[in-house]
Amino acid sequence: MLEEELSKLNFTKQESKIYIQLVKTGNNTANSLAKETKLNRTNVYDALQRLVQKGVVSYIYKNKIKCFEVNAHRSIIQFVEEKKKELKNSQKIILKEFDSILKQNSTKNKPLDASIFMGKKGLKLVFEDMLIKKQPISIIAAKSLQLRSFLGPYFLLWHKKREKLQINQRSLFPKSLKGKVDHKSKYFSYKLIDTFDNPTTTIIYADTCLLIQWSQEPLVIKIQNQEIAKTHQNYFDSLWNLE
């Protein structure tokens, strides 16, 4: 289990084995570590050097013999924090480069009008896009609360992020869900209406319209078109103003 988690921090299998063994023994020589981990001594020494460079292992000399030891457990926490910063910086650079490329190509190539996403990962992708666009969201819910049940804890986390970004959301629910919808806040409002019994969830934001067809693996059709989004928004507004 620990080896798997260390691999996520770009520890090789050898580095993980040696690091865990050092945690167990306190301090050790390269020869002893090679015997205990059943790894080649040269490979052990190379891995130790990399762990030293990572800042999670240090060494001292005892009677002219080089002994390695794990730094205080906080060193691995610091290493994780540094990785987080690196990833965050990489994310900023990648997004900046993507934006630059898209701007350069905006006059040359039109984006696809429609995309299809499937399953929980696909659903999360389009929900993250809503947060990126930072535009008001209008939702015509299906006949049951599939979004909440399907997305689980992510659904509540997404709402917190949306409200932190001050993105307004209006939702229409069928009256059959009366008593089941209880979330109201400064940036969220809803109405119950009895004019539809819709198996499909419709979401409108910015120039985008999402049509979510519910099954065991939900299918999301994302249409990015100003006119289509406007038509669906007008329909939503007409339902909203019925009562």
**Pair (67, 127) in one structural domain:** no
Instruction: Provide mean pLDDT across the span 65-92.
Output: 76
Give the number of other CB atoms < 10 A from CB of residue 132. Answer: 10
* Dihedral sign (CA 195, 233, 221, 205): negative
Residue 213 sits in a domain whose CATH number is 3.30.870.10
For residue 90, being part of any structural domain is answered with no
Asked if 134 and 58 sit in the same domain, the reply is no
Angstrom distance (rounded) from CA 68 to CA 49: 10
Place of tokens 């519910």: 214
183-196 confidence digits (pLDDT tens): 667 888 888 887 56
33 lies in the same domain as 130: no
Report the pLDDT averaged over residues 30-55: 89
Query: Is there a domain that residue 9 lies in?
Result: yes
Range of the domain at 54: 2-73
CATH number where 49 lies? 1.10.10.10
Looking at residue 7, its amino acid is S
State the total domains in the chain.
2
DSSP state of 87: H
Nearest-angstrom CA–CA distance, 33 and 39: 8
List pLDDT tens digits, range 8-30: 777 888 988 888 888 888 778 88
Domain boundary, last residue among 14, 44, 73: 73
Give 60-78 pLDDT, tens digit per residue: 888 788 888 887 655 677 7
